[in-house]
C-alpha cells in the first residue's frame, strides 16, 4: 500500500492552497502549532483566507501562531476563542484590522469550537450545547430547553485544508502527539478536505504502537517532516 506523500519543503506541501480557502491551524498557546506550514503560507502570500484556530493573540514567548497570517493581512475572517492577549497594553494587528472593518471575526467558546470541528469530521449535522445559553453567544441561535437545561444550536465547522502539528508519523499518516501540543490537532485532522500534518519525525510503518495512535492515517493526506 502506498504511503502518504512526504514533503521536506513545507512550501511544496501547501502549493495548491488557493486565495479564499478556508483553513484550520492547530495549536494552543504556541504549543503544537504547525509553524513551518504557517510560515510557508505567509511566504506564498495566499490571501482572503478564512482562518479557524483557537488563538491568535501572538507572542507566546516568540512562538509562531496563526496571528502571523493576520499580521500580513492574508485573512478576511477569523473564527477563534482567544483572538487577543489578556493585556490591553498593545493593540494587535487583529484589533486594528477589525476596528477598520478589514477583518471579520467570529468569537466561539473554546469547547464549542472543538465540538463544532469534531462534528464536521464526524458527520454530525448540528448539536445543542448549554455553553453560552443566556449570554451574547446565544444571539441569533435557536434555543431549546432539553431535559430542563437551556441549550443553543451550533453548526459544524469544516475546512478546505487543515494544517496540523504532530510529534511522530509513519508513512501511512498515523500520528502521535506530545503533551499539550496535542490540543486542537486531532479534531482538525478529521474536519478538512485535505489535512497536512507537520511532524517532528517520520518513523517506519509498524513502529508506532497501534494502541497509542491518536490520529489514524485515514484522516491525513500529506506529511511534512523535519527528520526521517
Partner 1 sequence: MRIARELPDGAYVNLGIGQPTLVANYVPPEKQVFFHAESGVIGVGPMPEPENEDPDLSNAGGQPITIIPGAAFTSHVDTFAMVRGRHLDIAVLGGLQVSEKGDLANWIRPGRKVGGIGGAADIARGAKRIYVMMDHITKDSERKIVNRCSYPLTATGVVHTVFTDLAVILVTPEGLVLQEVAPGWSAEEVQALTEPRLIVSRELQEIRL
Q: Which residues bind partner 1 (CB under 8 A)?
A: 28-32, 54-55, 57, 60-61, 81-86, 88, 94-95, 98-99, 105, 107-115, 117-118, 129-137, 167, 177-187, 214
- DSSP label at residue 117: H
State the pairing for strand pair 104-107/143-146. unpaired
Report in angstroms how near the CB of residue 204 gets to partner 1 at its nearest.
Answer: 23
Of 74 and 185, nearer to partner 1 (C-beta) is: 185
**Residue tagged 491518536 (cell numbers):** 214
Report in angstroms how near the CB of residue 85 gets to partner 1 at its nearest.
Answer: 8
Spatial CA neighbour of 93 closest among 73, 118, 117: 73
Spatial CA neighbour of 184 closest among 29, 21, 10: 29
Report in angstroms how near the CB of residue 87 gets to partner 1 at its nearest.
Answer: 11
Of 94 and 197, nearer to partner 1 (C-beta) is: 94
Of 176 and 223, nearer to partner 1 (C-beta) is: 176
Task: Name 8's Cβ contacts closer than 8 Å, sequence gap at least 6.
Answer: 224, 225
Report in angstroms how near the CB of residue 1 gets to partner 1 at its nearest.
Answer: 27
Of 46 and 152, nearer to partner 1 (C-beta) is: 152
Of 42 and 82, nearer to partner 1 (C-beta) is: 82
Of 179 and 207, nearer to partner 1 (C-beta) is: 179
CA angle 192, 99, 39 (to 5 degrees): 40
The SS3 assignment for 122 reads: helix
The SS3 assignment for 180 reads: helix
Report in angstroms how near the CB of residue 109 gets to partner 1 at its nearest.
Answer: 4
Q: Are 74 and 96 in contact (CB under 8 A)?
A: no
Distance CA 10, CA 39 (A): 9
Amino acid at each position: 500500500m502506498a504511503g502518504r506523500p512526504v514533503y521536506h519543503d513545507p512550501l511544496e506541501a501547501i502549493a495548491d492552497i488557493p486565495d479564499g480557502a478556508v483553513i484550520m491551524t492547530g495549536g494552543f498557546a504556541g504549543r503544537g502549532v504547525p509553524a513551518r506550514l504557517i510560515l510557508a503560507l505567509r511566504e506564498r502570500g495566499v490571501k482572503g483566507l478564512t482562518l479557524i484556530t483557537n488563538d491568535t493573540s501572538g507572542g507566546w514567548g516568540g512562538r509562531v501562531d496563526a496571528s502571523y497570517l493576520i499580521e500580513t493581512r492574508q485573512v478576511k475572517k477569523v473564527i477563534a476563542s482567544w483572538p487577543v492577549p489578556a493585556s490591553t497594553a498593545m493593540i494587535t494587528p487583529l484589533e486594528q484590522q477589525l476596528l477598520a472593518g478589514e477583518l471579520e471575526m467570529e468569537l466561539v467558546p473554546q469547547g464549542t469550537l472543538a465540538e463544532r470541528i469534531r462534528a464536521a469530521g464526524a458527520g454530525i449535522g448540528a448539536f445543542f450545547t448549554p455553553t453560552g445559553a443566556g449570554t451574547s453567544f446565544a444571539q441569533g441561535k435557536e434555543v431549546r430547553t432539553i431535559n430542563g437545561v437551556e441549550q443553543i444550536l451550533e453548526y459544524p465547522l469544516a475546512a478546505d485544508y487543515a494544517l496540523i502539528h504532530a510529534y511522530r508519523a509513519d508513512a501511512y499518516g498515523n500520528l502521535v502527539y506530545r503533551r499539550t501540543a496535542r490540543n486542537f490537532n486531532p479534531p482538525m485532522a478529521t474536519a478538512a478536505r485535505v489535512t497536512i500534518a507537520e511532524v517532528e519525525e517520520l518513523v517506519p510503518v509498524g513502529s508506532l504502537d497501534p494502541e497509542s495512535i491518536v490520529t489514524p492515517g485515514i484522516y491525513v493526506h500529506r506529511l511534512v517532516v523535519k527528520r526521517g
